[in-house]
Structure 1
Amino acid sequence: MGKAGRAKSAREKIKEQQELERSREQRRKVVTYFSVGVVAIAAVGAGWLYAASRSQSEEAANGLAPTTVQADGSVVMAKPGVTKPVVDIFEDFQCPACKQMEEVSGSTFRNLAAEGKAKVVYHPITIFGQDPAKSNSIRAGAAARCVADGKQWVAYHDALFKNQPSETVEGFKTDQLVTWGKEAGVTAPGFDTCVTGQKHAQAQADYSVKVNTEQKLKGTPTVKLNGTELENTVIFAPQELRDAVTKAPK
């Protein structure tokens, strides 16, 4: 083979070697990109699963902590001797966001009280200033005040949120409020006449003004832990809520 032939052969070998290296590099890049993509997808998936686990509602524990209806209309749920941390729940039976919070985190509040990890205090108030929502809320709040037994109050509380009407129509009518009370197991003497006569309507309105003024509420639901308002990202995430309460000063 002449010099020209040998030179051509060498050039071809070099070219083949370069092509081989380019192919290998391309494969390395593809593998790298794929690996990074898999890791990224896994990270996103893990993050979503973690977030989902934190927002999943708890199963309700068997039995409630002792529940006492106070003279002012607030309701205390706590095991004997538990005074802190204090979880104050300010909610309006007509408020859609309050209903949602109860559906998501209601069992967490009750479980914490049943476990002796918190003193939970419900404050049913009227936050609305315009009808029909305002009148709806006052009727429901006044009806709840007709229930003196703590366990029955909790059942009625749940029934009111379950049957919450639209904010734009007249709802929580007195005959409905009586029916839902009976369905919830309310046996308080004079419950029917207390509800239909709206015996506690003025007390509900006055208490709402007092609480709104003293607590400087911006809306409902508002949850305070030892007097400090919790963010919505906490009260709508059961695990975040539990963590905040269990880590609070006793």
Structure 2
Amino acid sequence: MGGAERAARKRRQEQQQRQQAAKPVPAARGVDKRTIGVVAAVVLVVAAVAGGIFWYQADKNKTEGQTITAVAQGAPAWPERRDGLVVVSGRPEAKATLDVYADFLCPACGEFQKRFGKQIEEQVAAGNLLLRTHMVPMLSAQSDPEGYSLDSANAGLCAADAGIFTPFHDSLFAAQPEEGKRGYDKGQLTALGQAVGVSSPAFPACVESGTYNQQLDAELKRVTEDPSLHQEFPNGSKGFGTPTVIAGGKPVDTADPEWLSKLVSGAPTA
């Protein structure tokens, strides 16, 4: 092979090498980039889900470790006593009697307390109204963990035994936990009782042991089956619900803004 031929062959080899080097990146490298993108997206989704679960758990348990604020302290200015499972507030000679059936977890009961609680207590203090409070643990299965409605109802009766029910009742509604989430545990309920002025050494044991739990469960069954306490709901069905407000043996129409003044004046309320 002559020198010219070898030089030509070398040039052809170099040209082939340059052409090979100039070829585009193989498709497989493109697949790698897409795979990296998919993996990154999955990581972001997992992180978002984990963050959402963490936020939900934190929000669900936000009452844990909280101190329930006492909105008032000491025995109220009117007499209070426990009549079975009913807390009676006011003077026996009052012009009118009002029965309120409520659950400490019930949002509608919380709204009722917010709208009318102060007005009702003013009428009780004035001697115009005898208030009978029935604590009905309807929503015991609607807290997480379950049981807050029953625990709080029992604690309310324990506070009534000590003669300091109204501040305990009002404080629980003022700091009402959300339905479906964590309520307050027995330790927190006991601490609230002490904050509102309950000093009886029997109070902590009453709360912790659930002294009135069985009676409250039996009372829940009784009131839900009592047709005189049934009301018509927006969907057309009838039954017992909280809050139920009764005067003179009949449900009170609390949608009437004058219902309370009518009650204490003797005017019809329904």
Quote the Cα distance in structure 2 between the aligned partners of 1:150 and 1:120: 18
Residue by residue over 1:184-234, the C-alpha shift from the partner in whole angstroms, topping out at 9 and shown as x without a partner, is 111222211221222222222112222222233531111111111112313
Partner of 2:224: 212
How many residues get paired? 182
Runs of 4+ that moved beyond 6 A: none
Partner of 1:102: 113
Q: Percent identity?
A: 27
Q: TM-score, normalised by structure 1?
A: 0.65
1:73 aligns with 2:85: yes
> Which one-letter code corresponds to 2:265 in the other structure?
T
Name which of 248, 251, 254 aligns with 1:232: 254
Q: CA deviation at 1:163?
A: 2.4
Deviates more, 1:221-230 or 1:121-130: 121-130
1:245 aligns with 2:258: no
Partner of 1:193: 205
Change (3 A) 1:248 1:151: farther
Question: Which one has more relative contact order, counting CA pairs under 8 Å at least 6 apart?
Answer: 1
> Which one-letter code corresponds to 1:85 in the other structure?
A
Name which of 102, 110, 123 aligns with 2:134: 123
Which has the larger Rg? 2
Q: TM-score, normalised by structure 2?
A: 0.61
Change (3 A) 1:96 1:164: same
CA contact (8 A) 1:93 1:137 kept: yes
Q: Report 1:31-46 matches (<5 A).
A: none
Change (3 A) 1:107 1:64: farther
Partner of 1:147: 159
Partner of 2:243: 221
CA RMSD of aligned residues (A): 2.2
Q: CA deviation at 1:141?
A: 0.5
CA contact (8 A) 2:158 2:207 kept: yes
Quote the Cα distance in structure 2 between the aligned partners of 1:243 and 1:151: 29
Name which of 157, 160, 163 aligns with 2:175: 163
> Where does structure 2 lack aligned partners over 5 or more consecutive residues?
1-75, 231-238
Which one has the bigger helix percentage? 1
SS of equivalent to 1:233: coil
> Which one-letter code corresponds to 2:262 in the other structure?
D
Q: CA deviation at 1:151?
A: 4.5
SS of equivalent to 2:210: coil
Quote the Cα distance in structure 1 between the aligned partners of 2:210 and 2:140: 19
> Where does structure 1 lack aligned partners over 5 or more consecutive residues?
1-62
CA contact (8 A) 1:146 1:188 kept: no
1:91 aligns with 2:106: no
Partner of 1:18: none
> Which one-letter code corresponds to 2:252 in the other structure?
L
